[in-house]
Structure 1
Amino acid sequence: MSIGKILVVLTDSEKNDFLPETLQKELSAITPEIKWLNPDFINEHGWDDALSSIKPEVLVTGWQTPRLPEAPQKYMGSGLKYVCHLPGSVRKLVPRSWIEAGLIVTNWGRSVSHVVAECGLMLMIAGLRRAGYWNSAMHRNGAWKGPDLDTRSLFGKKVGIHGFGAISSCLVRLLEPFDVQVSTYSPAVPDAILNEFGVSRSPSLEALFSENQVIVELASLTPQTEGIVTETLLRSIPDGGLFVNLGRGAVVDEAALARVCSEGNLHAALDVYTVEPLAGDSPLRRLDNVLLLPHIGGPTVDQRRTAGAYGVSNIKRFSRGEAMEAIVNLEIYDRST
């Protein structure tokens, strides 16, 4: 199967990070008909000009690529069949109507799960060591440790993971040297997978929260999981425990989390929020026992080429008529954020 033109719409920094020179050469080996555009061109001239004149079969996109128009029929008629989105969520880029009309869309899938898991491990250790508090206090207040130090270690802890997918499985492997006991609440995951990773199944979400000193939130966001982490669940975490969220912010009752943490018995380490960016007046920003990151759990700059290589591999599969990975179908689209 031959492939037509490829249109790449990335900023210079996205191009350098996701598609360094070696990957650009791999793209050129698939087809010499590659057109590179900066998103500014689309912002100025619109998609009409680019799609109707270039007539790409494959569109490669990044975070800064402008959103596709709402009506797909006109543009797919020009030959566009596949959008290879190098980052994760596609909802800001691709209207649902395009997927309904048959456009193939892929994203970075599981290619960066290990890097997200690395961030999760960092949040766990930093949260237990109270690193967020001490970093700020030493920079701003000249603070130093006192006799009532409340730092904890990850070694030997009971860790509960809500949701068990690709990131969770990578995290479990990273946790192996710490001799932790890991359990999960993820009813749809077969016992065989949990046994493979040495993870026990928690009978309920209530048991998961009340029986573990560290809770890691990695459940996907669906109508059923939105707001499922309630104040009652958060209060059931043992005193001195840690709640980590690097999954989806809206899974948690954020106001309740702020209330519980404000009482001092629960610590939190967060990378995701219900509304992003996190509001400047959010009570979470005022709590010394809440470590905050600005949703940077995805691939670091030096690891974005991993996602780029994954995208190039998918384009190769598309060119050969082979099965592709990380396809965003309507079900996945609807539960993504």
Structure 2
Amino acid sequence: MDERGEAAHGADGFGLSEDDVRLYRALRRGDDDLEADDPRLENLRSVGVVFTEPLTDRPSTRPLPHVERELIRRELDEVERRIRRIRRIPSVLGALDRAGAEVRPGTDAIEIVEGPTAVHHLLHNAIETSTAVWSSQTRPRHAERLATSTVRDVALLERGGVRYRSLYPTSARTRAPETEYARRTAGTGAAESRTSSRRFPRMVITDTVALISDRRAGEGKDEPAIAVRDPALLAWLREEYELHWEAADPWFPAPADGPSDRGLIERDILRMLSEGGTREAIARTLEISPRTYTTYVAALRARFEVRTNEQLMYELGKRQRAGVGDDDNDNDNDG
């Protein structure tokens, strides 16, 4: 201990203070008449350089080579003990993991749900107990099934207690069933729909479970779904959804100064053409047929007074550099 009563740690890392060193020097010289139980010898004893002589019952010093060997042996024993503890970590954590799984029966974080009946049953139960539902549809919805869903969802939204967010591809604006669903659900004041040309997964997220299309099987009538229940994964899926949502275009009510439905699709075609997209890739992303794509591109070429896509990109770039933009296509009506 130093003058302030605090432990002083020397450069050797064994807690010997300058007072300890002076005391050791005095013992070696025989200049200090100390009793064996003198508390000032505590640090020197802990290092092993001082011991009690059995014959005289007086404190004495050990040879430093002997002390060195003893300290090294002591440190190696400590290292071996810690290595044994480190080796036990996987088994201890494994036991805790198994114990945690035992108290959560039947709540697997991820499972595959086969068939539309099982998917719809799970989804219906989840929506009935949720306060918010986030959905994204990546392909055209069946008209008759969507009409049934419209009646059910409007009744649920008007009852209160739940809010909907629905994300569609931009091409959905040109299809009557999706347009009617978006308009009627928005009319309840508890739902909002947006559209985007960016690729996003087909899924429905509720408070307790998310159902995602199993892309390994491809999208189809009887496609399986991946059910996710883990709270951390659900939070991550909601964050991913929000990224797509913030970049999407409001549908109903549409912004007063926003582009028309046709203008949105033309905007997306121009953007993807500028990024090097092919006809097949653009049509697949926008969920439109190659023939419809050709019709849109032909209209764009006529508007820009060009004959090829390369000339179209050149004229678009020239207008953007001049600050003119392509706002004139925003005022076109759907045709």
Higher RCO (CA 8 Å, separation ≥ 6 residues): 1
Structure with the higher helix share, 1 or 2: 2
Q: TM-score, normalised by structure 2?
A: 0.25
**TM value normalised by structure 1:** 0.25
